[in-house]
Structure 1
């Protein structure tokens, strides 16, 4: 099968391409660096031409109120290109609980992306993942102040990027789900606990203070980011193993 992987040079996309090609498929990475722009539409028709599956792993450059416009325009352009090329399966990567955090601009934008895909004419699959382990450094940096980091006790279920890529590749190579598959790491932590564990294992002596109003995840209520449902696929990589 031939796969057009948008965002195919990024953290997840590059690994999806590697997995699919190792399985004997033809997966081609596309990004602005390869001459493909999902916002202007430059290079899209050529990139999607003769592909059986379109995998969209592009992301908004910002997490603010500009992000819905990015997903609206990019999905409109990609769906139009997919129709012209008679693509049979369109896959996107989203976030567990994305439709339950309307307070966050970025989550509303990702929920919009899901809606656009589901309402479109192409058979589709949505893979929803929990928070990436690789993003923990960014989370720590958002509320760092000297020797103190403030984090809420929001429940999270971190998953390794390599496990996300494997799951996306598996879904892309299969028949369209016409729905959602949830994937998650094998363990649930509170975010403040995860911060303390990360610093301890790295020999970082900064202090994590539990603060329910700190950072982006303060807007998350309850356990929506770990509400994966009974049919979720649990990935094998544990956080302490990933840290090592």
Structure 2
């Protein structure tokens, strides 16, 4: 089966391409560097010719509210139109657990807008909602840093290894459309402040983590369960400390 992976040269996309190729599929990495630009439409028709499924794991280069909304609406609109013209039978998009629970957040609002376009497109679809990636937790800590203090909301947190996100996306892409969503998360659920206190200790980072109920997560205050999945989520097996010990990214 020919499966085009938009954002296929990135962190998750490259792993999805490798997994699908390993399963015997014709996995095509689509990105500006391979001649495919979803913002302009350049190369889309050629890349999608003969494709049975399209996976979209692309991301906005800017998280500023207006910019991220414009990216997802323009990119997704162009992609869906090209899929309709090419007769693609399955659209898979990677999204975020909790989008609907924090709509005041600019990034989450943009992902909601993206999902609505997909749901209304008439193309059979699957949405994979993932929790935060292990690869991004240092960035979360840096965003929450004020001097030598990392202010973290004491809410529930359940991050996942990027490899296991890619595994879930590849599995969904090779299957039948869900016409709905599935959730994936890491194996350990803990308080966000406790997670980062342990993580910084593991990194040898001298910053102090403070539990602050008013601390923001990229501009918005998360609720108790904003960032964690429901009971039916598929859980990964890789624990953060094991990932940190074993991965080049962790080191």
Q: TM-score, normalised by structure 2?
A: 0.93
Distance (Å, rounded) in 2 between the aligned partners of 1:237 and 1:115: 32
Q: Check whether the contact 1:4–1:29 (CA below 8 A) recurs between aligned residues.
A: yes
Question: Could you list the per-position Cα deviations for residues 128-187 of structure 1 after superposition, in whole angstroms to 9, with x for gaps in the alignment?
Answer: 011111111101111324432221112110100000000000000000001001111111
In the TM superposition, what is the alpha-carbon distance from 1:77 to its structure 2 partner? 0.3
Equivalent runs, 1:167-206 vs 2, <5 Å: 167-206=168-207
How far off is 1:199 after superposition?
1.1
Residues 208-241 of structure 1, C-alpha deviations (whole Å, 9 max, x = no match): 1122233326521121221x22321111111111
For residues 73-117 of structure 1, the C-alpha deviation after alignment (integer angstroms, 9 at most, x for no partner) is 111100110011100100000011111101101101101111110
Quote the Cα distance in structure 2 between the aligned partners of 1:220 and 1:150: 13
Partner of 2:62: 62
Counterparts of 1:10 and 1:221, CA distance in 2 = 30
**Higher deviation after alignment, 217-226 or 201-210:** 217-226
Secondary structure of the residue aligned to 2:95 is strand
Q: Is the 8 A contact 2:8 2:57 kept in 1?
A: yes
Which of 220, 223, 226 is 1:221 aligned to? 223
Aligned residues: 243
SS in 1 for 2:84: helix
In the aligned structure 1, how far is the partner of 2:192 from the partner of 2:172?
29
User: How far, CA to CA, are the matches of 1:212 and 1:63 in structure 2?
Assistant: 23
Report which stretch shifted further, 63-72 or 106-115: 63-72
- Tell me if structure 2 keeps the 8 A contact 1:48–1:81: yes
Contact 1:38-1:44 at 8 Å conserved across structures: yes
| Superposition TM-score, scaled by structure 1 size | 0.96
Structure 2 match to 1:11: 11
Give the aligned partner of residue 153 of structure 1. Answer: 154
Aligned to 1:232: 233
What stretches of structure 1 of length at least 5 have no aligned partner? none
- Find the residue that maps to 1:12 and give its secondary structure: helix
What are the residue-to-residue correspondences of 1:62-101 with 2, within 5 Å? 62-66=62-66, 67-101=68-102
Unaligned regions of 5+ residues in structure 2, if any? 246-251
CA distance in 2, matches of 1:79, 1:65: 22
Q: How big is each residue's C-alpha offset from its partner over 1:39-73, in whole Å with a ceiling of 9 and x where there is no partner?
A: 11111111111111010111111222221111111
The residue that corresponds to 1:49 in the other structure is: 49
- 2: distance between equivalents of 1:232 and 1:203? 32
Q: How far apart, CA to CA, are the structure 2 residues paired with 1:229 and 1:190?
A: 16
